[in-house]
Amino acid sequence: MIDTHSHILPGVDDGARTLQQSIEMIKMAHKNGVQSMFATPHYIQYEGYNEVKDNTKIFKWLESALKEENIDIDIYMGHEIFITPDIVTLIEEEKVATLNGSRYVLIELPMFDVPKFTEDIIYALRIKGYVPIIAHPERNKKIIDDPNILYHLIHLGALTQLNLSSIGGYYGQDVKNTAQILAKYDMIHFAGSDVHSLNPKPMLVEALVTQLTQLIGHQRVNEIISHNPQAIIKDSALAVREAKQYRQISAIKRLYNLLLSGL
């Protein structure tokens, strides 16, 4: 499993507090079948968050500590960038990190909104050769209400990252339902733990991957947790399954299907 979203850098944001805690979190990930992890600390413009140059030093410190501890896991640098109209400039000025310096950029939407300029940002990034990855869309209130908002953003050129623990119900039933819909309709391309602490729940990767496999099958899960994120590591182009538009099944159709399955 390649974990494309985590807060493992020590003392940087609301993630790991100390180097020791970072190491414990990474050990926990490794035990749960994670082979590679992207460190994606938050970046919110004008809020005093660490820029690339600050995080690089801390990242190298963590990397050498992992080597000393003989923990066989690869870590890569990135940022979880809160969406702003200035995102292209922030990348070009090297204030924010793309994922492992690749064309892929992890972007966070507000919890309760999909700003109007989101479409323009996706377009501006694609024109410049970047590929936006929308972090945990299943947690966004607008997308919960209408999953096809995400379908539309994918058609504009965005990819998406699921928090695996959403499938396990960690964020509640609405988020779980939405995660299932997005996965079933091929609107998910990557997965992450979004781990912030030693709380083991987001890190129960094997169990969560099993739940996801029951839902969409081994091949599609393998694309999400292994094949697709390898393209980030290699900075190579990625062809993904075509997302399907979500169509809500009516109560009558559901009842009909239920009766049919009982025959």
Site string for Fe ion, 47-86 (x = CB under 5 A): ---------------------------------x------
Q: At what angle do helices 19-31 and 52-68 cross, to 10 degrees?
A: 60
Yes or no: say if 16 and 37 are a contact pair by the CB < 8 Å rule: no
Residue 28 or residue 148: which is nearer to Fe ion going by CB?
A: 28
Yes or no: say if 149 and 143 are a contact pair by the CB < 8 Å rule: yes
* Minimum CB–partner distance for residue 7 and Fe ion (Å): 6
Contacts with Fe ion: how many residues (CB under 5 A)? 2
Binding residue for Fe ion (CB under 5 A) from 194, 195, 212, 224?
194
* Minimum CB–partner distance for residue 245 and Fe ion (Å): 28
Torsion of CA 172, 186, 30, 231, to 10 degrees: -140
The answer to whether 3 contacts Fe ion (rule: CB under 5 A) is no
The answer to whether 13 contacts Fe ion (rule: CB under 5 A) is no
With CB atoms as reference, the residue minimizing the distance to Fe ion is 194
Residue 161 or residue 178: which is nearer to Fe ion going by CB?
A: 161
Residues that bind Fe ion (CB under 5 A): 80, 194
